[in-house]
Structure 1
Amino acid sequence: MAALITNIGELTTNVSRDGDLAGTITDAAVLIEGTRIAWVGPAADAPAPVAGMGTVDAAGRAVIPGFVDSHTHLVFGGDRADEFEARMTGTPYAAGGIRRTVAATRGASDEALRARLAGFVTELHAQGTTTFEIKTGYGLTVHDEARLARLAAEVTPEVTFLGAHVVPAEFAERRDEYVDLVVGEMLRACAAHSRWIDVFCERGAFTADESERILAAGVAHGLLPRVHGNQLGHGEGVRLAVAAGAASVDHCTYLDDADVAALAGSQTVATLLPGVEFSTRQPYPDARRLIDAGVTVAIASDCNPGSSFTSSMPLMIALAVREMGMTPSEAVWAATAGGARALRRDDVGAIAPGMRADLVLLDAPTRVHLAYRPGVPLIASVWKDGVGL
């Protein structure tokens, strides 16, 4: 099947040209053939429609690549609204709340978890997200981590094994034994369903030495590394990620000059999660500092029940522009091409021939409206692999 989207007022290709990071084409058209993009350019030069080709009139509205959400935790049970309410009245955020979700998740059936996950996927698609990663980390037993990885793999190839989320309560006095479990039986049970290995390198979670051991074990099983780091304070997460060749280090709220320099001299993406700062009242990361230093920046939702219970990438864009020093074009790039780089994907995040036909039609004339009109539903249509959702 072929389809021509024409009369696009502003097309964001993310194919940089003449200093324009967004690779903007005005009065544009896009030809989709099957699951891929076949042609991109000015509408006046578009291929003539042929028999059987569908056409979509964008009516002067903007088209952008589908969002790439490179950090989510979507398979879980329970609810932690009470923690959010407490934070809004002054209780500080701490990583220990994860254990509440672990208990609820262990008690939930596969059917309940699968149904909730399906709801989140529908929610993501409705908000323009066409590629997303899902982490485990709310099971923390061999059986439960394996089933979370298996359920996540039913809806995305971007599954991350995060057995090293926190040390569960039953191992509180035996953390060395828990690390042994993570790098041994638990990893073996989850590797077949996963592409990535992650670790929460943070006070209250895992030390740098423990994190290094866990990442190395994952790599030995064929998984690619990524890291949660520098969320709650200055620490070793960023430098650990760079040394491990991690695709991404996520949070990056507290960085010193050495952290920024390490990122700038590496292929590791700094993935910023502004929904967390919104929900926890922590300081927002300084995206401007990172971008000006030459660091590749992505933004993602970190959708999870404790510190960022939102799946809205448009909201992440608005927060990045308002609170983190990014321009609208930089924020849209970070939510699309940046996320693709954080997942080491070269087939999504841009609109160009040969790329997957993952596109979003905005009910707005420009991408700037994603930040200019926060909270307004601007997603008019979404295509995933050339199919309208």
Structure 2
Amino acid sequence: MTGEADRGARFDPSTSSGTGGERTATGGTGSGTVGSSVGTGSVRSGPGTGRVEVVDAGGRAVIPGFVDSHTHLVFGGDRADEFEARMSGTPYAAGGIRRTVAATREASDDALRRRLAGFVDELQAQGTTTFEIKTGYGLTVHDEARLARLAAEVTPEVTFLGAHVVPAEYADARHDYVDLVCGHMLEACAPHSRWIDVFCERGAFTADESRRVLAAGIAHGLLPRVHGNQLGPGEGVQVAVALGAASVDHCTYLDGADVAALAGSDTVATLLPGVEFSTRQPYPDARRLLDAGVTVALASDCNPGSSFTSSMPLMIALAVREMHMTPAEAVWAATAGGAKALRRDDVGVIAPGNRADLVLLDAPTRVHLAYRPGVPPHRRRVEGRDPPLSRGRRRDQRGVRGPRRRVDGAGPSVACRATRTPGRRRSRHPSRPRPS
């Protein structure tokens, strides 16, 4: 399904190398098509490969683990009543983000940690193996720092989002709040974060404020990403491209200049169809972006207000049904596309030398992810240890290393350890928080 993950490469379903199309994988006597049905057969370990354990895929599809590059998983409270009112057309006083901020500030670390553990279990059960988490529901120095710290317990992809909205206590002093975000709040969160984000949107932060926040984060060694062009036309895309952001997320309202800017850059357009599904808003025009040569990713935007789902298979189904992506494009966007949005080349692809990060579907082809929406597709995960990391990249701490494992027909064997074997106790997953 995927080849190498060179930054800036585009999806091309006609190729058998690069980042697009189905890639035929061979090795030993097993062979198959990655992302389609994978054949079975015996596997022999070659010189220097060490012990190899064969996993019989049984004709099922093997794909890279999903990469969810946009989530808000650390929060308190619930907004089901807002959702019900919105869906029924009943007028209501929406508390929105500020309502979640209040509930999050009141929640203890232990309560937030337990809830986060449940979300991690939930997304992993649906085939997500790499995920990002944003702060943004604390909006004080203390609370943003603790959200970043809790998120860092389960993922290295932590994003500081102090510039989510201006909190109520700064309603008449927004300049002071931007100063706080760029100063003490950033200093408290940067040690736990890899990314900095800003909601560059009407009612949130202006383009000038967004540039200031992102520049401050870059000066502290964080990498930029942007929420932009969700609620209407705006400058979010242009801000993101000008600052070399890894991704600009939402991209619902774009003009020709926005599309051209994305097509000429390495900035990924991350589409979040769960938001449109949950709010009955127009979906982004994915077809226009893809046809222009823009790199597109899919993510869940799991949050309590506008997209309370962690299901990447649902994002794929929505992308195919509502945004006119092909199944191949949608699966690529949910795996390799997400990896590009996180500037990762070690996940989202099946390639020689990469750590095994595979999902065995309970289906014969990847098409079933969209063809059978709502049916749990994930049968098993096959996970490996990390290859040596390049200098300067953060190492995600892993558990005990085990034997080399191979999914038949999925290419050269890779070092890995089993995550679950029937009848045996499941080992602790490295991204699950330790009991408090």
What TM-score do you get using the length of structure 1 for normalisation? 0.90
The residue type paired with residue 114 of structure 1 is R
Query: Relative to 1, partners in 2 of residues 1:94 and 1:321: Cα closer, same or farther, differing over 3 Å?
Result: farther
Query: Relative to 1, partners in 2 of residues 1:293 and 1:96: Cα closer, same or farther, differing over 3 Å?
Result: farther
The residue type paired with residue 287 of structure 1 is A
Residue of structure 1 equivalent to 2:236 = 237
The residue type paired with residue 351 of structure 1 is I
Residue of structure 2 equivalent to 1:111 = 110
Cα RMSD of the aligned pairs, angstroms, is 2.3
What is the CA–CA distance in structure 2 between the aligned matches of 1:60 and 1:28, rounded to whole Å?
16
The residue type paired with residue 163 of structure 1 is G
Residue of structure 1 equivalent to 2:179 = 180
Query: Relative to 1, partners in 2 of residues 1:94 and 1:314: Cα closer, same or farther, differing over 3 Å?
Result: farther
Aligned pairs for 1:48-127 within 5 A: 48=45, 53-90=52-89, 97-127=96-126
Q: Do the aligned partners of 1:14 and 1:349 also contact (CA within 8 Å) in 2?
A: no
C-alpha displacement of 1:42: 7.6
Residue of structure 1 equivalent to 2:219 = 220
Instruction: Say how many residue pairs are matched.
Output: 369
5+ residue gaps, structure 2: 5-11, 31-37, 385-415, 421-436
Residue of structure 2 equivalent to 1:19 = 15
What is the CA–CA distance in structure 2 between the aligned matches of 1:368 and 1:151, rounded to whole Å?
36
Compare the two structures and name the one with the higher helix fraction.
Answer: 1
The residue type paired with residue 143 of structure 1 is H
Compare the two structures and name the one with the higher strand fraction.
Answer: 1
Query: Relative to 1, partners in 2 of residues 1:289 and 1:29: Cα closer, same or farther, differing over 3 Å?
Result: farther
**Residues 121-143 of structure 1 deviation map (CA, whole Å, 9 limit, x = unaligned):** 11111100000000000000000
C-alpha displacement of 1:229: 0.2
Identity %: 79
Q: Would you say 1:336 and 2:335 are equivalent positions?
A: yes
C-alpha displacement of 1:86: 1.4
Query: Which of 419, 423, 431 is the equivalent residue of 1:388?
Result: 419
Residue of structure 2 equivalent to 1:161 = 160
Q: Do the aligned partners of 1:27 and 1:42 also contact (CA within 8 Å) in 2?
A: no
Query: Relative to 1, partners in 2 of residues 1:90 and 1:55: Cα closer, same or farther, differing over 3 Å?
Result: same
Q: Do the aligned partners of 1:160 and 1:198 also contact (CA within 8 Å) in 2?
A: yes
Query: Relative to 1, partners in 2 of residues 1:184 and 1:245: Cα closer, same or farther, differing over 3 Å?
Result: same
Q: Do the aligned partners of 1:72 and 1:135 also contact (CA within 8 Å) in 2?
A: yes
Residue of structure 2 equivalent to 1:366 = 365
Query: Relative to 1, partners in 2 of residues 1:188 and 1:384: Cα closer, same or farther, differing over 3 Å?
Result: same
Residue of structure 2 equivalent to 1:37 = none
SS at match of 2:62: strand
Q: Do the aligned partners of 2:195 and 2:224 also contact (CA within 8 Å) in 1?
A: yes
Query: Relative to 1, partners in 2 of residues 1:65 and 1:93: Cα closer, same or farther, differing over 3 Å?
Result: farther
What is the CA–CA distance in structure 1 between the aligned matches of 2:283 and 2:67, rounded to whole Å?
21
Q: Would you say 1:379 and 2:378 are equivalent positions?
A: yes
What is the CA–CA distance in structure 2 between the aligned matches of 1:29 and 1:134, rounded to whole Å?
39
**Residues 81-124 of structure 1 deviation map (CA, whole Å, 9 limit, x = unaligned):** 01111111236999960000000000000000001001111111
Q: Would you say 1:275 and 2:306 are equivalent positions?
A: no
Residue of structure 2 equivalent to 1:47 = 44
C-alpha displacement of 1:369: 0.3
Q: Do the aligned partners of 2:2 and 2:332 also contact (CA within 8 Å) in 1?
A: no
What is the CA–CA distance in structure 2 between the aligned matches of 1:354 and 1:130, rounded to whole Å?
18
SS at match of 1:88: helix
Query: Relative to 1, partners in 2 of residues 1:244 and 1:367: Cα closer, same or farther, differing over 3 Å?
Result: same
What is the CA–CA distance in structure 2 between the aligned matches of 1:93 and 1:371, rounded to whole Å?
34
Residue of structure 2 equivalent to 1:255 = 254
Query: Relative to 1, partners in 2 of residues 1:71 and 1:326: Cα closer, same or farther, differing over 3 Å?
Result: same
Query: Relative to 1, partners in 2 of residues 1:282 and 1:30: Cα closer, same or farther, differing over 3 Å?
Result: farther
Q: Do the aligned partners of 1:318 and 1:374 also contact (CA within 8 Å) in 2?
A: yes
5+ residue gaps, structure 1: 1-11, 32-40
What is the CA–CA distance in structure 1 between the aligned matches of 2:314 and 2:374, rounded to whole Å?
7
The residue type paired with residue 312 of structure 1 is S
Query: Relative to 1, partners in 2 of residues 1:57 and 1:108: Cα closer, same or farther, differing over 3 Å?
Result: same
The residue type paired with residue 303 of structure 2 is N
Aligned pairs for 1:22-37 within 5 A: 22-25=21-24
